[in-house]
Homo-oligomer: A and B are copies of this chain.
Amino acid sequence: MSVVDDPSAPSGAFIGREHILPVRVYYEDTDFTGLVYHASYVRFFERGRSDFLRLIGADHVRMAALNTAFAVTRLEVDYLRGAGIDDALIVRTCFDAVKGARILIRQRITRGDEDLTLAKIQAVCIDLKARARRPPSELLLALEAKLASDVKT
């Protein structure tokens, strides 16, 4: 089924436990050096995490209905190679583990066979008043099959 028949925005797909999301490089993502601005990758990684969660049924609207949101508490990014305008990138997202309120995520951005950028993200589950909370059981159940290691709560 093509985009013409089903124009809902694509959200990537799972290959096993890894979520892959194609991302195109547009003007907005580049800077005057001609390459992708380093903070743009941070935005791309967030799109990957959002769509990972969307595909397991945990989009932001559903999470808000369960008094749940996410906040990034730690970010590590290694920049290995640059990307340029028009490049077709893939954001690859693995949810590693859930530990109490914390969620550990590993992500990569690739172009063809090359790794461009690697990231380790730590997020925390919060309620809508911004207090740390354990993930709701619906989220834990949905995550379980996709976690790279065991759920330890």
Residues on A lying within 8 angstroms of B by beta carbon are 2-4, 7-13, 15, 20, 22-24, 26-28, 30-35, 37-39, 42-43, 46-47, 50-51, 54, 59-61, 69, 71-79, 82, 84-86, 88-90, 130
Contacts and interface: CB of A to CB of B under 8 A. Distances in A.
A4 to B, nearest CB: 5
A3 B10 contact: yes
B27 A32 contact: yes
B10 A89 contact: no
Given A39-B42, A76-B76, A7 B32 contact: no
For the residues of A in contact with B, the DSSP-based class is mixed
A26 B12 contact: no
